[in-house]
Amino acid sequence: MKDPIKIEAATLEEAYTKASEELECSITELDIKVLQYPSKGLLGIGKKNAIILVRCKSEENTPEIPEQLPDIKVDEDEKEIFDNFYKQERDLNEIAQEVEAALNDMFGNMCFRLDKVKVRPYDKDTLLIEFTGEDAALLIGKEGYRYKALSYMLFNWINPKYGLQIRLEIAEFLKTQEEMIANYLKPVIERIKKEGRGQTKPLDGVLIQIALRQLRQAFPDKYVAVRERNKEKYIIVNEFRKK
């Protein structure tokens, strides 16, 4: 039985094609395990290639690649890849320090007057990223549009690379928005408790995400979802449909 080979390329499509050529095997006959998904990163930070382990299914007596890959031999340089993607042994504090260093390296060269960016674990699945300083509010933008853009970019760097969520706090913007939404939702929640169903007013951007999270916490046994009508988004709360 032949061991699978490791292929690295800029995209998964390129990796599959390269594997097909090297193994002289149709792409449809490849037995593939993705070790690392590609990511463009954030302004170059966190950019990574696709990495796969692959072999041809048509090889005689060749079983599928198992989840834990017990028969795969790797050298010391490859060991970290397996630890990160199968054992998930990386410490959250270590990841937080790595992200913090990258962010400070990037924002330290910009014209904004910012304090050192702080990154720390928020919970077992989330990193808290904090921006403070004289010009921190400029990162929020009108109606939070810069906040949303930065949050989106950070998530699309951190989540694919580390498998973590993020909580972005800029000059207490998130805290203020959460408090505002919590106050707005108090009568909405009471009405839903009485009537069994209800909906919010139209909300936008980060506000609808905050409201969605708070309503799902308030009603874990109800159907809570975002709906859109006339290009306006709102949240509905209802009973789950019985089969």
* pLDDT tens column, 42-78: 545 556 788 889 888 765 444 554 544 444 444 444 4
User: Which of the four pLDDT bands, split at 50, 70 and 90, describes residue 182?
Assistant: very high
Residue 86: alpha-carbon gap to chain centroid: 18
Helical segments of the chain, H only: 12-23, 76-82, 92-107, 145-162, 173-195, 205-218
Q: Which residue has the higher pLDDT, 144 or 113?
A: 113
Beta bridge partners of 32: 54
Single out the residue of 121, 131, 132 nearest to residue 162, CA to CA: 121
How does 70-97 read in b/e, with b if 16+ C-beta sit within 10 Å? Answer: eeeeeeeeeeeebebeeeeeeebeebbe
Mean pLDDT, range 81-97, rounded to an integer? 64
pLDDT of residue 69: 42
**CB of 237 within 8 A of CB of 215?**
yes
Residue 122: alpha-carbon gap to chain centroid: 15
pTM of the model: 0.53
Q: Poorest-confidence range of 29-33, 56-60, 144-148, 178-182?
A: 56-60
Query: What is the spatial order of strands in the sheet that 30-36 belongs to?
Result: 5-9, 50-56, 30-36
Strand 5-9 and strand 50-56: the pairing is antiparallel
Tell me the domains of the chain and their CATH numbers. Answer: 5-87 (no CATH), 92-171 (3.30.300.20), 174-238 (3.30.1370.180)
